[in-house]
Chain A
Amino acid sequence: MSQTVSPSIASPQTQQVLDVELRQVSKYFGGEAAIQDIDLKIREGEFFSILGPSGCGKTTTLRLIAGFEQPSAGMVLIQGRDMSRTPAHRRSVNTVFQSYALFNHMTVKDNIAFGLRVKRMGRSQREQRVADALQLVKMGSFAHRYPQQLSGGQKQRVALARALVNRPAVMLLDEPLGALDLKLRKQMQVELTNLHQQLGITFVMVTHDQEEALSLSNRIAVMKDGDIEQIGTPSEIYDYPQTPFVADFIGETNLLQGEVEFADSQMLRLLTPEGTTVLVNRSEANLPDLKTAVVSVRPENIRLSQEAPLNEGNCYSGYVKHIMYLGTHLHCVVQLQTGERLTVMQPNRSEQSLTPETPVYVSWLPSDCLALAA
């Protein structure tokens, strides 16, 4: 199930090699905490994403690993070694910046060779490595161009190659696809996954795009206000969010808050202020412990029908308030008679004739929603 990172020092029985570890790390900028008491363990070879809204401290976390910032408290370890006294240029990590930060006065080839040149690698070996890196990102024919002659996607590839060519232990990617248009972004997502599998090195990516994080990562850390809310695999994060924030931020969800009317180890019954009763039989928390709770139900788990449904789950009547056509799906907002509004994602089937004001029933099984501590 979902895994939380314990603040304790790495236990000896874990056989996994940690490439990056943050222990109780805090960072203050002029008295304000950008991140506070963060613990993070990133395993060797994994694609790890740090996901959160802007200002949550995810970029600061990445900059602490890269060495551009020093922690106000706590410790950053790379491959088990304390990095407190190691400046950025002596760390075995390389960064791909959101702005690419290519050197405009150098050709593509010289940009990529820069890291090897400052490390005084011999010419023939350097040329070979640069050629390999260019081929890896499919930019071989652009070696003698200047960055300003390249498109956004091409610059992105050069930035990747410039980092990869140094064979770092860890690749740090700061919103690497943020500046690309949708189609190019999808394409580069595939290439990033391929690169990661081909090279087998650890990738740490910062993003605010939950879809990108879900589709690329082995594990995700969701951050909010300088704190880590949850760490887990994409399916753990999506199917078993531990907090209402995670449920809401990852994908779309409906959150219903209320008093717990009844709870045993199997089932919980929630009563919202509007008077809606919701049955839930799934939770990360121990159900009988909950006094107030938030129920999260995903739009795609809600069934929408014009006749009263037969199943015995949660079933309510209402009418369509708003409808948005998305091609494969219909995105509906349903106004319940009790007053709540629910978002429903409905496969687009031609036999349906949903228009605003159509009276409908919405229903879902108690096992299709999740109770969270409020």
Chain B
Amino acid sequence: MRLPAFWPLPRTWQGWLTTALFAFMYGPILVLTVYSFNDSIRYTSVWQGFSLKWYESLFQDTRIFRALQDTLFVAIVAVAISSVLGTLMAIGLAKYYFPGKGVYRGVSYLPLIIPDISIAVATLVFLASLAIPLSIWTIIAAHMVFCLAYIAVVVSSRLGSLDPNLEEAALDLGATPAQALIQVLLPQLMPAIVAGCLLAFVLSVDDLLISSFTAGGGANPLPLEIFSRIRNGVKPDMNALSVLLILASGMIAALGEYLRYKGSMTDG
């Protein structure tokens, strides 16, 4: 049987399977988005008409904005410090030869594999044993553990695809080692550094587990705030907040990927 020329549904079983998988992954998010516009009095699965009132109530919630401030502060500081250290780490690991380099390299990327819960518990126990009080700075320190590893991995992979003679070429032309780093190596690494930072930023904003173990009374990042509210029943304004978060993270992640792609295109 021939299908008509315009046929919006998949034509093969592979197509159907793909559609089903996408529906499985994104269905809940779609439902969440739809219900964030529901004109209801409290959380209900009954559609009662379109409304922006949950968004309005969200924007009037000062607790949410304080939590957002904490989250952004943690993410920006952790990523800023990690971007410098992670880039230096990647360059150092690529450039110098020393005994045990392979082990060192493996260990420095380990935070990507270690479960968050282990990092969270280990950090908490460590801080407690040194009697360091929990604060927003302890969250930043804990977030740096994975931000650093993440940025170093992205920068390393870019370094690996660069011409190994670039720095030598700059030195050969009379540049000092500092000039070679700043004028030649860093500009070529910049797309990867920015991409790594954006992805680390999203991970930091998203983190609940590590933050919940390392936050003291003073700091209350957004995921913690959402989690504590949902324990007393889901309110539709949390739907609205989730939708905004998904949009923001999606945009940042897409920008990061785009920069990484653009960077890899200039290898020529």
Contact = CB atoms under 8 A, between A and B. Distances in A.
A118 B173 contact: yes
B187 interface: yes
Contacts of A68: 168, 171-172
Interface string A125-150: 00000000000000000000011111
22 contacts: A66-B172, A87-B171, A88-B171, A89-B171, A89-B173, A94-B172, A95-B168, A95-B169, A95-B172, A101-B165, A102-B163, A103-B169, A103-B187, A104-B188, A104-B268, A118-B176, A119-B174, A146-B268, A148-B266, A163-B173, A166-B173, A166-B174
Nearest to A172: B172
Contacts of A67: 171
Nearest to A149: B268
Given A88-B168, A118-B179, A148-B266, A105 B174 contact: no
Contacts of B172: 66, 68, 88-89, 93-95, 163
A101 B163 contact: yes
Contacts, number: 79
B247 interface: no
B166 A101 contact: yes
Nearest to A68: B168
B170 interface: yes
B168 A118 contact: no
Interface string A56-92: 0000000000111000000000000000000111100
Contacts of B165: 97, 99, 101
B268 A114 contact: no
B134 interface: no
A105 B175 contact: no
Sort A-B residue pairs by CB-CB distance and give the 6 closest, nearest first.
A148-B268, A115-B173, A101-B169, A101-B165, A88-B171, A105-B187
A109 interface: no
A162 interface: yes
Contacts of A148: 266-268
Interface string A101-124: 111110000000011001100000
A295 to B, nearest CB: 43
A346 B267 CA distance: 47
Interface of B: 163-166, 168-177, 179-180, 183-184, 187-188, 266-268
A260 B170 CA distance: 57
A162 B268 contact: no
A94 B168 CA distance: 11
A87 B168 CA distance: 11
A327 to B, nearest CB: 36
Interface residues of A, number: 30
Q: Give the interface SS of chain B, mostly helix, strand, loop or mixed.
A: helix
A162 B175 CA distance: 13
B151 to A, nearest CB: 20
A177 B141 CA distance: 51
Contacts of B166: 101, 103
Interface of A: 66-68, 87-90, 93-95, 97, 99-105, 114-115, 118-119, 146-150, 162-163, 166
A155 to B, nearest CB: 8
B201 to A, nearest CB: 24
A114 B170 contact: yes
Contact of A114 (B168, B173, B188, B267): B173
Nearest to A94: B172
B181 to A, nearest CB: 12
A276 to B, nearest CB: 50
A255 B165 CA distance: 40
B169 A97 contact: yes
Contact of A103 (B171, B176, B184): B184
A12 B122 CA distance: 72
Interface hub of B168, B176, B179, B184 (most chain A Cβ within 10 A):
B168
Contacts of A93: 172
A147 B268 contact: yes
Contacts of A163: 172-173
A311 B242 CA distance: 98
Contacts of B268: 104, 146-150
Contact of B267 (A94, A104, A115, A162): A104
B168 A105 contact: no
Contact of A89 (B164, B174, B183): B174
Contacts of A115: 173-174
A118 B187 contact: no
Given A68-B168, A95-B169, A105-B266, A118 B163 contact: no
B176 A89 contact: yes
Interface hub of A90, A103, A119, A163 (most chain B Cβ within 10 A):
A103
B96 to A, nearest CB: 14
Contacts of B187: 103, 105
